[in-house]
Amino acid sequence: MIDLSFRPEDITLPVGHFLSGKVVSGGKDIAVTSPGNGSLLAYVPEAGPELVHEAAQTAARVQRESGWATCAPRERARVLRRWADLVEQHSMELARLETVCSTRPITQTVGWDIPFLAEGIRFFSEYCDKIGGDVAATSSSLLGMAIYEPYGVTGAIAPWNFPLVMASWKVVPSLAAGNGTVLKPSEMTPFSAVRLAELAVEAGMPAGLFNVVQGTGLATGEAICRHPDIGKLSFTGSTRTGIAVMKAAAESGPKPVTLELGGKSPQLVFNDISSVDEVADRIFRAFTGNAGQVCVTGSRLIVQRGVAEPLIAALVARCGQVAAFAPWAAAASYSPIISEPQAQRILNLVENSVKAGAQSLAPCLRMNSEEGGIFLSPGILLVTDVKSPVWQEEVFGPVLAVQTFDDDDEAFALAEHPVYGLAAGVHTASMSRAMRAIRTLKAGTVWVNRYGRSSDFVIPTGGFGGSGIGKDLGRQAFEANLRLKSVLMAVE
């Protein structure tokens, strides 16, 4: 077995922005620390409006002059496929850059994140020459067409929880559609995106087409959203910030947006499940994966009374089996919390919920690891009031809120949320019940007898209501980076 462990001090970090094919500095310093041991890793510069302007103008010029949008689409596809090959060839390097400052253990960045990234690039490369528009039905003396064309430059703002994967969901379909792109990674996880952009140039992408600017949302993100050369935006993050992004897009365009926002996703478990242990494993992964720091975390368990006691007991037992290791350790499988303020927020939500009447079945507590770091044990709370903070608010941590039910209608009513509609899980042996749940649940994604995303890139992802607008992945994500032009031509 290959030893995946490494020492953070041995990693060379690409510190800076990536403009016109080069790593550059400029802007006030932002400290980047590791949640795995609390150490200071580097200071990265923050891009203000002037540097964002340079990045956007450069992307617009290169997109226009390089022929990226006007070349044979399969030429773009070839570059993207070479990019995917380079990602695989540099998988260990990318995985370490991802792990050193994020919540992603090295075993998972090597085993899932980087392979998923490479395959996602290949998936969107296949769309380069597959979406061409339509010929409309008109009179024989006219030729009517609907033609797709790129926006020119798109802006992407990616989160910290899956830095490379989330960035690729925004950047890759945009580039495949013929656009230039300006990406802002999270200021907490800034390094891997720069290396990804370097590999794009090495693969043959015109330098300056894909630029990376570092910084905070208030400074750099705001400048991206409001830049006049950026014709479309994509953002993943909190619902509150997504509203601000949409407002900025409306005031500076208006321009279209794709928003993947918060969630408070329910998991419905019915008495007819075939195996309590299998479902317990599934639910446990769904709320502890990445320590619950996932938009689609299945954080609300709605379980029928006949199976509630054994299922809850199985989940509580699993909570006691989690161990904390630094993300770069070979034994690491459980994630740290990204920052101390986030850890304190999670603990406060749990405490306030208990004060409001929730019963703690498995306590969410600080955990120790050999190298320090910010770790919280998985927590389970039994609630009876839908107004409980842990039932209403997105915790973004390893906390499961549980309610029981008697019949299907009660289960579907409990699954409703006043704000979110990102995802839902249904665990049942009844196909008819599963179909009713699929039609009834107000969620952008419904998983049946499974929970979590797979490598089926063709299936789009995105939420309803306060969970967002538009779709990542699938044909829909590619088409979202194209605008439609109508043509009516007289044929003489």
As given in the structure block, the two tokens for residue 160 are 């910290």
For residues 324 and 319, what is the distance between their CA atoms, to the nearest angstrom? 12
For residues 49 and 61, what is the distance between their CA atoms, to the nearest angstrom? 18
Contact 47, 56 (CB under 8 A): no
As given in the structure block, the two tokens for residue 333 are 């499988």
Hey, which residues does 300 pair with through a beta bridge?
A: 266, 401
* Beta strands, E only, 169-325: 180-184, 210-212, 232-236, 257-260, 266-269, 300-304
Report residue 356 CA to chain centroid gap. 32
Element (H, E) at 392: helix 389-392
* 397 three-state secondary structure: coil
For residues 252 and 273, what is the distance between their CA atoms, to the nearest angstrom? 51
* 146 three-state secondary structure: strand
* 75 three-state secondary structure: helix
119 a catalytic residue:
no
75 a catalytic residue:
no
Q: Per residue in 296-318, is it b (16+ CB within 10 Å) or e — as a string? A: bbbbbbbbbeebbeebbebbeeb
Hey, which residues does 455 pair with through a beta bridge?
A: none
* Beta strands, E only, 333-391: 359-362, 366-367, 375-376, 379-382
Element (H, E) at 261: none
As given in the structure block, the two tokens for residue 142 are 């006219």
Taking CA atoms, 359 is separated from 132, 322, 403, 417, in Å, by 56, 21, 11, 21
For residues 226 and 181, what is the distance between their CA atoms, to the nearest angstrom? 14
Q: Which of the following is catalytic: 295, 319, 364, 394?
A: 295
Q: Which of the following is catalytic: 46, 222, 260, 394?
A: 260
For residues 468 and 456, what is the distance between their CA atoms, to the nearest angstrom? 21
End-to-end CA distance of the chain: 71
For residues 284 and 321, what is the distance between their CA atoms, to the nearest angstrom? 11
Element (H, E) at 11: none
| Short-list 420, 426, 362, 49, CA closest to 223 | 49
Burial of 356 (0-12, 13-18, 19+ CB in 10 A): middle
| Short-list 190, 195, 173, CA closest to 80 | 173
Tell me which amino acid residue 403 is: Q
Q: Which residues are catalytic?
A: 260, 295
